[in-house]
Amino acid sequence: MTKTNSKDAVSEAKERVLLGLNPRQVEAATHVEGPLLILAGAGSGKTTVLTRRVAYIIASGWEPWSILAITFTNKAANELKTRIAALLGEQGEGVWAMTFHSFCARVLRAEFPGIGRSGRFSIADDSDQLKVMKACLKELNLSEKQYPPRGILHAISNAKDELMGPDEYAARASTFYETKVAQAYSLYKRKLLEMDALDFDDLLMETVLLFRGNPRILQKYQERFQHILVDEYQDTNRAQYELTKLLAASHRRIAVVGDDDQSIYTFRGADIRNILDFERDYPECKVVKLEQNYRSTQVILDGAFNVVKHNLERKDKRLWTSKKGGLPITVYAGQSAEDEARFVVSEIERLVGEGLPLSSCAILYRTHAQSRSFEEAFINAGVPYTVLAGFRFYERKHIRDAVSYLRLLAYPKDRLSLERVANEPPRGLGPAAIEKIVRYAQEQDVGLVDAMCSAESIKGLTRPQKKGALELGTALMEMRRAASSLPLGQLLHDTLEKTGYLEALRNEGTSESQSRLEDLSELMGSLRQYDEMENPLYSFLENCSLASDQDSYDEKKESCVMGTLHSAKGLEFEAVFLVGLEEGLLPHSRALLDERQLEEERRLMYVGMTRAKLRLYLTFAFARNGYLGPTRTRVSRFISEIPRELLEVRTWED
DNA sequence: GTTCCAATAGTTTTT
DNA sequence: CTATTGGAAC
């Protein structure tokens, strides 16, 4: 430690860091030695505590870079970074605040080369996974009807969450179906390896395996990170749990923050045992409960509590606030989805008229599909809105095409990107031709771009195919050479120009293609931020794989926010509209049969309600258009769990 | 083998 | 309502 501060200066710094915290929060921020479990209710100042804790650790003389703060979303990580910077200035620089997945990717890229594996793997997203799995099923002669690819992927994902490899899975398979899954798992893994790709679950699992199998590497990270902080601990799965356990094993300075009532990711393997086992794994751990809420009115908290208390599997606790009373919770019964949307939008306009900023209003729903009627109502009313992770920017076809072109420059074996891009624009390179190129590349042990450059010597390609492949290959080769000397935006532009992608889009001449071109220039412009980084191309691609759209959500923008209940976690608004509160939507129809899933739906409701600071609206429609005709609906059971005296009921007839 | 068009089936939540 | 699949024409 290089600090030469006197004792007084240190304690003064510590005091300043704790300014304005309540006694429980102080406990959580200052318990620096030894494990700590913080049970932080909604709106209890969790991020504040995390930030102050980091500051306190630094004020105690630790170096910033000895702190690792792990979150679930990039948004949460960025928020943490911003708040640390605001509190500490450059003193806080060097703290690692990132998601589980980016941490793992970073470790693997750094350590894989040392153990003879590629550190330049690409990261496979959902649609990549689906494609690979379909190819696997085809190869195994399994029909997609009997073996739905998504279902198989889900099973594999579960296995990986539990750190189970294909062999172990096969050994445990008891049903016929499971033996088939095991075969698919094994082949799927081989295929990913072949194209040097890892999926999201692999990132976690491979990191745990790396640490387990290489004690010296693990030791390096243990020594580097003397303090581990984990946010949203209730949402960790077994692999994530194991990872943090390994990292903290030598020094046991690990602090986790969680709230069992806000556990809404069990479908992704989140395991509530991780909170319970924490006290077992670290018997000396200190437990701090944060129950004072700084966000909502008492009425909103009472409403939310009365819903969530119906769950049997929960730790007993109850939030309280010094803000007594509050406006009643408004329940609106609409006659149709359109009527519901009309009400919500006109109510928002009324609130804005009273001086509430538009950006502090939010509409939350259970499924993405529900956004439609609200978007229409907003457009009709001329009110600006932002959809959280709706149709993700990065999931739009042309954006993915563009990214795939860049991926081909960076990842020589990225077969999926080639498949995306080879015939976009049409070059006569269909699946069969691609197969030949890939095989050639494998046989010659060269990258796909190099293979295309020697298209002349690939057997079985027709003349025009050779020409197409050669053109594409040389264009990409040229861009790859130029990659390090061009700004990233320019690189993308030139790549799309040379490969004829932009030209094809321009020639289309529809309004659709026009807006696509605009999207692409937006993308090119946004790439500027990467130019200062060490390796712009790789940094961008990494971000692209690991980032979602809500990460870039800008709360200052003057527009109403809407999104799924899941995407709303960690956010807060003056006015919240929980919409579509009907049996089958919330709780979702897929959850009705299973008590545990039903409890998760209830927690979703709880998370939604506790986003509201001042006003809470619960709305539903008596009839809703399904994909075939209008259907009558039933009001969500969760509404009836709220005491009548907290509610003010309105209908379309009022 | 590729391209294009029509029918068809499928819609939870996310890093 | 819309992404995807399967079939028929080039």
**Cβ contacts of residue A567 below 8 Å, gap of 6+?**
A388, A389, A550
Contact A255, A287 (CB under 8 A): no
Q: Which residue has the tokens 């550190």?
A: A119
Of A47, A266, A474, A529, catalytic: A47
Neighbours of A475 (CB within 10 A): 21
Task: Identify the residue whose Cα has the smallest distance to the C1' of B10.
Answer: A627
* Run of H or E residues at A186: helix A176-194
Active site annotation includes A47: yes
Separation between the CA of A407 and the C1’ of C6 (whole angstroms) = 31
Contact A255, A230 (CB under 8 A): yes
Of A30, A222, A244, A262, catalytic: A262
Task: Identify the residue whose Cα has the smallest distance to the C1' of B9.
Answer: A145
Q: Which nucleotide is nearest to A589 (CA to C1')?
A: B12
Q: Report strand pairing: A630-632 vs A623-625.
A: antiparallel
Active site annotation includes A91: no
Question: SS3 for A632?
Answer: strand
Specify burial of residue A593 (Cβ count, 10 A radius: 0-12, 13-18, 19+).
exposed
Separation between the CA of A461 and the C1’ of B2 (whole angstroms) = 13
- Nucleic acid strand B: bases within 7 A of protein CB: 1-4, 10-15
Active site annotation includes A262: yes
A122-150 b/e (C-beta count within 10 Å ≥ 16 → b): bbbbeebbebbbebbbeeeebeeeebebe
Angle at A282 between CA A279 and CA A287, to 5 degrees: 50
* pLDDT for position A616: 96
Of the candidates A623, A408, A454, the one whose C-alpha atom is nearest the C-alpha of residue A400 is A408
Between CA A310 and CA A636 the distance in angstroms is 14
Active site annotation includes A231: yes
* pLDDT for position A2: 46
Active site annotation includes A232: yes
Q: CB of residue A127 closer than 7 A to nucleic acid strand C?
A: yes
Q: CB of residue A145 closer than 7 A to nucleic acid strand C?
A: no
Per-residue CA distances from A440 to A416, A443, A451, A617 (Å): 16, 5, 7, 61
Between CA A36 and CA A293 the distance in angstroms is 21
Q: CB of residue A629 closer than 7 A to nucleic acid strand C?
A: no
Of the candidates A621, A606, A561, the one whose C-alpha atom is nearest the C-alpha of residue A364 is A561
* pLDDT for position A3: 47
Of A111, A206, A232, A599, catalytic: A232
Between CA A102 and CA A123 the distance in angstroms is 11
Neighbours of A322 (CB within 10 A): 8
Between CA A84 and CA A545 the distance in angstroms is 26
Of the candidates A276, A371, A311, the one whose C-alpha atom is nearest the C-alpha of residue A561 is A371
Kindly list the strands in the beta sheet with A560-564, ordered across the sheet, starting from the edge strand earlier in the chain: A385-387, A560-564, A361-365, A573-578, A612-621, A329-334, A647-651
Of the candidates A585, A604, A598, A577, the one whose C-alpha atom is nearest the C-alpha of residue A261 is A604
Between CA A33 and CA A461 the distance in angstroms is 66
Separation between the CA of A343 and the C1’ of C10 (whole angstroms) = 54
Between CA A636 and CA A633 the distance in angstroms is 9
* Sign of the C-alpha dihedral computed for residues A56, A61, A65 and A70 taken in this order: negative
Q: Which nucleotide is nearest to A102 (CA to C1')?
A: B15
Per-residue CA distances from A506 to A146, A489, A636 (Å): 43, 19, 49
* pLDDT for position A376: 84
Between CA A405 and CA A418 the distance in angstroms is 8
* pLDDT for position A13: 80
* pLDDT for position A314: 84
Between CA A615 and CA A360 the distance in angstroms is 11
Q: CB of residue A627 closer than 7 A to nucleic acid strand C?
A: yes
- Nucleic acid strand C: bases within 7 A of protein CB: 1, 4-6
Active site annotation includes A161: no
Q: CB of residue A176 closer than 7 A to nucleic acid strand C?
A: no
SS3 for A416-440, per residue? HHHHHHCCCCCCCCCHHHHHHHHHH
Stretches in chain A below the pLDDT threshold 50:
1-3
Of A46, A52, A400, A415, catalytic: A46
Per-residue CA distances from A283 to A225, A279, A287 (Å): 22, 5, 10
One-letter amino acid of A62: W
- For residue A385 the two structure tokens come to 């809105």
Between CA A204 and CA A91 the distance in angstroms is 30
- In DSSP terms, A618 is beta-bridged to A331, A578
Task: Identify the residue whose Cα has the smallest distance to the C1' of C5.
Answer: A144
